[in-house]
Chains A and B, each alone.
Chain A
Amino acid sequence: MVALVIQAAAALVLVYAGASKLAQPEDIRKTIGALGLPGSPIVLAAALGVAELGAAALLVVVPASPVTSAVVLALGGAFAVAGALAMTRRVQVHCACLGPALSGRLGVRQLLSLPLWIAVAGAGVVDHTVPLAGDRLELLVVLAILVTLGAGVQLTSLVREHRTLYQTMDGS
């Protein structure tokens, strides 16, 4: 059960992070560009978003698979390397980890998060039981709905602000 909670929580974060990177790619493109990574920031940003969504899907659908653990570890490792690069090259840039609204400086935080990634990857290896085995895709849909609800809360206040300002400008 603990493993399920860890995996579901990690999948929730990854769905949000991956979807944010695909929906609002400017910040992650800037981060990748600032790090001087080889390749097009546009392609790398999209690939990262897809990889995070893929990792979320794997964590929910096949949590005990070694492929899932490998993908999660690879993601965590990549973020830790990015943090280390930012620190050694003295690049001051936002990580754009969870979209523009929830972003911090890229650096030591990514290194400190590596044990969490290892714990998530290890949860499936340590605990081979798969609770709710027949409902795993439904669980993924539930996580997507939860992320949508969270985004909906942000959207409500933004739309209200937009309408107020529009009416003020329109004088109506």
Chain B
Amino acid sequence: MLLPVAVAVIAVIQVICVLALVDQYRGLLQIREGMGLIDTPQPIELAALAAAPSPSAVGLPAHLDAAERLVVAFLSTKCMTCRTIGRGLHGRVPRDLWVVIEGATEEECTRWLDDVGLARERVMIENMNDGVASRLDLSVFPSTLVFDQGSLTAAETLPSSRQLSRLLSAPVAPPLAATSVREKEPRHAH
């Protein structure tokens, strides 16, 4: 009789412990939210957004203009979060994604791609001082440009791989209205 009672008591105690663990993790999440340490993407204000240009107009390959929805991820060889996102692609860039690797030299970018194990399909390498990003005054990495129906509709930071997955599965948006001030200081999102 004692053993079943003991087992029942222990079972109830472990329910309390598991629920206390749930409470602790909820508390951690609230602390992160309070400190702003969550992975919500922040919009980036680019002058180019006003014109809603096509991918080819900003220097991307012309065949991307035909894409219903295109997400262009800008990753820097100097950024740890970029490396994490690169690895999170598991070797292949999805169909609706185009990756632009920013580095000091082509060799550095190639080495970076080998390190994260990413295939070259749908990947573009460019010099950080003379590429699509610098011409757009885009100096936040990692970041994304979203083109819907051939027009630029959004620019935002890219804090994590799951935010990239969210972007890739989001519905196609209509073309944007005007925007204002452009980025000044180079910075990394993380």
Closest to B19 in A: A23
Question: How many residues of B are in contact with the other chain, CB < 8 A?
Answer: 33
User: Residue A169 at the B interface, CB < 8 A?
Assistant: yes
Assembled-state Cα–Cα distance A151/B14 (Å): 11
- Residue-by-residue, is A101-123 near B (CB-CB < 8 Å gives 1, otherwise 0)? 00000000000000000000000
Selected contact of B8 from candidates A19, A57, A162, CB within 8 Å: A57
**Which B155-181 residues have C-beta < 8 A from chain A?**
159-160, 162
Interface of A is mostly: helix
Q: Which residues of B contact A141 (CB under 8 A)?
A: 7-8, 11
Residue in A145, A159, A171 whose beta carbon sits within 8 Å of that of B190 in the complex = A171
Chain A, residues 31-45, CB within 8 Å of chain B (1/0): the string is 000000000000000
Is A138 an interface residue, CB under 8 A from the partner?
A: yes
* Residues of A that sit less than 8 Å from B by CB: 15-16, 19-20, 22-24, 53, 57, 99-100, 137-138, 140-141, 144-145, 147-148, 151-152, 154-155, 158-159, 161-162, 164-165, 167-169, 171-172
B residues in contact (CB < 8 Å) with A: 4-5, 7-8, 11-12, 14-23, 25-26, 28-29, 32, 37-39, 79-81, 83-84, 159-160, 162, 190
- 25 residue pairs bridging A and B, Cβ less than 8 Å apart: A19-B15, A19-B16, A20-B19, A53-B12, A57-B8, A99-B19, A137-B7, A140-B12, A141-B8, A141-B11, A144-B8, A144-B12, A144-B14, A148-B18, A151-B22, A158-B29, A161-B25, A162-B25, A162-B29, A164-B39, A168-B39, A169-B37, A171-B79, A171-B81, A171-B190
